[in-house]
């Protein structure tokens, strides 16, 4: 009996050592832990690195806007915070592919702006908004892992940047539009494949692999090493967290499989249909049109397969619709 107890203690100690350097994923931390004021230093560090200026969060704002009508949409983001300069920062993490993602972040920024200016207030009360999207899916074609978007008004003929005069404390001040208009940062986590040499690289390494160097000096990561340890969670919290990771893996696997099957089916059907139409009409254009049609039908069928599999695994209706672009009526019929 004593030997069994000793063996159990050895196993528990091995597990503890294995888990002590495992860190909670940022998407989970941002939803559960970083909303607490005691953990703002982790979020401060992340934003400081991403925006390349010192950021101090003073308040976490309500991140789901009220609907003004039955047709209005909620503004759901993972974190919406106010910094020490009175600016609004939106942070959102997207684990699975979503159609029309750029349109959605544009809506989220517009909603954040309008939510924080009261009826009758002057336009000078409008807050600058930073939108940071951490993406674990392929949003498009590009060679970099971080893209930054700002508004600039550039002279068509001269190439100079327009500065706009505004009034501040009864003094006329000149501003670049980029100082007022929203800024967008898209972080393509899966595209990062460098050796981490800078604080930004170290944050990318953590976002991708969940690893943090013991000797890190990157803003926020030293604090994260202490506050985001997997082993610091209770067994029940770890169970819920592990299920969250399993759900993400299942969703991604289902989507990737269905996309591959859709492409294969679409290509095969398209070629067959295109060849048939080309022979009948005696025109080369028949092959191209038929193949394009088949690809489109195959992609649509692939999305229906994605929706059906996600539905079978218990994924909620809103998430399925968001990931596939299908209507709830179609999803219910599957």
Q: Which of 192, 209, 197, 202 is nearest to 142 (CA)?
A: 192
SS3 of 188, please? Answer: strand
The mean per-residue pLDDT over the stretch 195-215 comes to: 92
User: Between these two residues, 150 and 246, which has the higher pLDDT value?
Assistant: 150
pLDDT band at residue 69, thresholds of 50, 70 and 90?
A: very low
CB atoms inside a 10 Å sphere around CB 220:
27
Q: How confident is the model at residue 3 (pLDDT cuts 50, 70, 90)?
A: low
**Mean pLDDT, residues 128-137:** 93
Write out pLDDT tens, residues 279-312: 555 454 444 555 555 555 656 777 788 778 778 7
Residues 272 and 292: their CA atoms lie apart, in Å, by 11
pLDDT at 173: 80
This prediction has a pTM of 0.67
Residue 76 has pLDDT above 70, yes or no: no
The string of DSSP codes covering 29-98 is HHHHTTTSGGGHHHHHHHHHHHHTS---EEEEPP-SPPPSSTT------SEEEEETTS-EEEEEEE-S--
Spatial contact of 215 and 279, defined as CB atoms under 8 Å apart: no
- Chain CA centroid to CA 289, Å: 35
Query: Do the bridges between strand 79-83 and strand 57-60 make them parallel or antiparallel, or are there none, so unpaired?
Result: antiparallel
**Strands 183-188, 88-94: pairing kind:** unpaired
- Which residue has better confidence, 286 or 80? 80
Mean pLDDT of 16-42: 79
pLDDT confidence tier of residue 205, bands split at 50, 70 and 90:
very high
On the question of pLDDT at 66 being above 60, the answer is: no
């Amino acid at each position: 009996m004593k030997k069994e107890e000793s063996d159990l203690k050895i196993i528990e100690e091995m597990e503890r050592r294995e888990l002590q350097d495992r860190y909670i994923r940022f998407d989970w931390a941002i939803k559960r832990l970083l909303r607490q004021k005691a953990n703002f230093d982790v979020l401060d560090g992340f934003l400081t690195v991403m925006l390349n200026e010192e950021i101090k969060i003073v308040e976490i704002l309500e991140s789901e806007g009220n609907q003004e009508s039955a047709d209005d949409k909620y503004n759901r983001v993972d974190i919406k915070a106010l910094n020490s300069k009175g600016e609004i920062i939106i942070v959102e993490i997207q684990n699975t592919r979503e159609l029309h993602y750029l349109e959605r972040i544009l809506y989220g920024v517009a909603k954040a702006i309008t939510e924080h200016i009261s009826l009758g207030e002057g336009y000078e009360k409008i807050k600058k908004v930073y939108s940071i999207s951490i993406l674990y899916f392929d949003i498009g074609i590009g060679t970099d892992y971080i893209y930054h978007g700002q508004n600039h008004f550039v002279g068509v003929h001269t190439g100079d940047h327009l500065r706009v005069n505004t009034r501040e404390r009864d003094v006329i001040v000149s501003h670049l539009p980029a100082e007022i208009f929203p800024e967008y940062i898209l972080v393509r986590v899966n595209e990062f494949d460098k050796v981490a040499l800078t604080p930004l690289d170290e944050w990318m390494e953590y976002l991708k692999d969940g690893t943090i160097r013991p000797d890190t000096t990157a803003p926020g990561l030293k604090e994260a090493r202490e506050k985001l340890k997997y082993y610091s969670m209770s067994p029940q919290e770890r169970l819920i967290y592990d299920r969250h990771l399993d759900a993400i893996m299942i969703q991604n696997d289902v989507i990737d499989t269905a996309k591959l099957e859709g492409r294969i089916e679409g290509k095969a059907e398209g070629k067959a249909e295109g060849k048939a139409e080309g022979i009948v009409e005696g025109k080369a254009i028949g092959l191209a049109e038929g193949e394009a049609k088949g690809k489109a039908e195959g992609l649509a069928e692939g999305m229906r397969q994605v929706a059906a599999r996600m539905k079978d695994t218990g994924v909620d209706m809103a998430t399925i619709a968001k990931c596939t672009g299908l209507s709830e009526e179609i999803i219910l019929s599957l």
